[in-house]
Amino acid sequence: MVRPGNWNRILKWVKIDQVGDEIVIAQGSVEARRFVAVYGHHGRITATVSFDQGMWLDFWRDQIEDAAPFPPRFALVGAPTDGPVEVRPSGFPEPNVPSHEATVVVTGHAPSDRRARFAQVH
């Protein structure tokens, strides 16, 4: 299931439920704050995030739907200007971490058994 979403007018994304453990800047420049980042998992494109470059998202959605190879190797307009394209770990926390947003997690099953646990990310 391919899902589009947006944080605001500038930051938009398309993803599937599969996590992306690698990331590459596919278009634009992080420095200039206008870029498309593409996530991959096991050599397939699984998600994309654009910052002030939403007009390219339909193309990347099609790549995700087609499970296109990651990292993308084709020549394209607006290729990154920040230097050589390198694939980096995406830095998402391990799935067994209870939450990567909260720092305190409430655990326990019964109302009488409520505990708080400090959740250390990374």
Partner 1 sequence: MAEQIVSEQNVFERVLDFANRADPYPLWAELRRTPVAPQADGSYVVSTYREISALRRDPRLSSDMRTAEQRAAGDMPPMLRLDPPDHDRARRLVMKHFGPPQRPTLVDDLRPELTRMVTELIDALADQDQVDIVDQFAYPFPVSVICTLLGVPRTDEPRFREWTDVLVDTLDPAGNVADRDPTKLAGLQEFIAYLQQLIADHRRHPGPDLISAMATEEAEDRLTDQEIVSTSILLLIAGHETTVNLIANGMLTFLRHPTVLKRLREEPTMIIPAVEEVLRYEPSVQMIPWRKTLDDVEVAGTTIPKGAQVILALAAGNRDPLVYIRPDAFDIDRGAQHLSFSGGIHYCFGAPLARLEAQIALGQLVDRLENPTLVTDPPPYRPSPVLRGPRHLMVGVDRIT
Residues in contact with partner 1 by CB under 8 A are 27-29, 32, 34, 55-56, 58-59, 62, 74-78, 81
Report the nearest approach of partner 1 to the CB of residue 116 (Å). Answer: 44
Tokens of 64: 């995700």
From residue 67, how far is each of 35, 80, 95 by CA, in Å?
Answer: 21, 22, 22
The secondary element (H helix, E strand) that includes residue 64 is helix 57-65
With respect to partner 1, which residue has the nearer C-beta, 32 or 116? 32
Strands 44-51, 11-15: pairing kind: antiparallel
Closer to partner 1 by Cβ: residue 34 or 41 = 34
Residue closer to partner 1, measured from CB, 36 or 47: 36
